[in-house]
Structure 1
Amino acid sequence: MVSILLFLVIGLSAGVLSGLFGIGGGVLIVPALLLLARMPPVLATGTSLAALLLPVGALGAWQYYKNGNVNMTASLCIALGLAVGAYFGARYAQGMSPLALRRAFAVFLGLVAVKMWWG
């Protein structure tokens, strides 16, 4: 029961942040699954991707679209890149050790944070 409640809270938090900032999977869900649910990195990433397949894009984007805040050409091009990139990224991640994957992810988040702070 605690796991289900934890996963619901993670999903709700990611949904709110996704609606506000367009983030969720890599910035909130994966770290939460790593730290709170104690999942290995590959399982956390796969679980996050599976959870994000439909609900985030469908309902969140609809609210932005209704108000004229979606560039459809950019969205479709990014979606194509995401599909191809996710496939190759997932293939590469399968061969990485959990420690290397966790450290690479931490470096990525740190670089994004620095860029956001001073950019």
Structure 2
Amino acid sequence: MKMTLTTLLLLIIIGLCAGVLSGLIGIGGGIIMVPMFVLFLGISQHNAQGLSLAVMLPPVTLLAVYNYHKGGEIDWKIAIIVSLMFIIGGYFGSKLALQIDQRVLKKIFGGLMLIVALKLLFSK
């Protein structure tokens, strides 16, 4: 991808939005970054998902986790169990995603986002 000033500004905006929303309401950066990468930068679905995962590596997440830990808001037993399963699931999920056509993957991603959005909007 050619790094124009517009591209650089979009990357800065995407990163800031994803970081603020992730820290503010605990959403995964992928919910914000993947659609923005695809829609605003024309990045392929596969590439957008890979970029999202690369950005969420521990140094980025650690600062937000530190603040929640300091506030007493993390049950470490749950976090450890889910983290271990997340690592295993992430490995197999990424292998599977790379075998799926990106048009189908976009539909799966969009459908999941729609279901989550509807659940959040209509739950009590």
- Which of 2, 7, 14 aligns to 1:10? It is 14
Asked if structure 2 preserves the Cα contact closer than 8 Å seen for 1:25 and 1:48, the reply is: yes
- Which of 29, 35, 39 aligns to 2:33? It is 29
1:38 and 1:82 map into 2 onto residues whose CA distance is 28
> How many matched pairs?
119
Superposition TM-score, scaled by structure 2 size: 0.90
- Correspondences of 1:25-104 after superposition (within 5 Å): 25-104=29-108
1:55 and 1:12 map into 2 onto residues whose CA distance is 15
Asked if structure 2 preserves the Cα contact closer than 8 Å seen for 1:19 and 1:60, the reply is: yes
Once the two structures are TM-superposed, the CA of residue 112 in structure 1 deviates from its matched residue by 0.6
5+ residue gaps, structure 2: none
- Determine the structure 2 residue equivalent to 1:115: 119
5+ residue gaps, structure 1: none
Once the two structures are TM-superposed, the CA of residue 115 in structure 1 deviates from its matched residue by 1.2
Q: What percent of counterpart residues are identical?
A: 36
* Deviating more after overlay: 24-33 vs 100-109: 24-33
Superposition TM-score, scaled by structure 1 size: 0.94
Asked if structure 1 preserves the Cα contact closer than 8 Å seen for 2:22 and 2:28, the reply is: yes
Asked if structure 1 preserves the Cα contact closer than 8 Å seen for 2:19 and 2:29, the reply is: no
Q: Deviations over 1:9-62 (max 9, x none)?
A: 111111100111111422101011011111110000000000101234200010
Segments ≥4 residues shifted beyond 4 Å: none
* Counterpart secondary structure, 1:23: coil
CA-based RMSD: 1.1
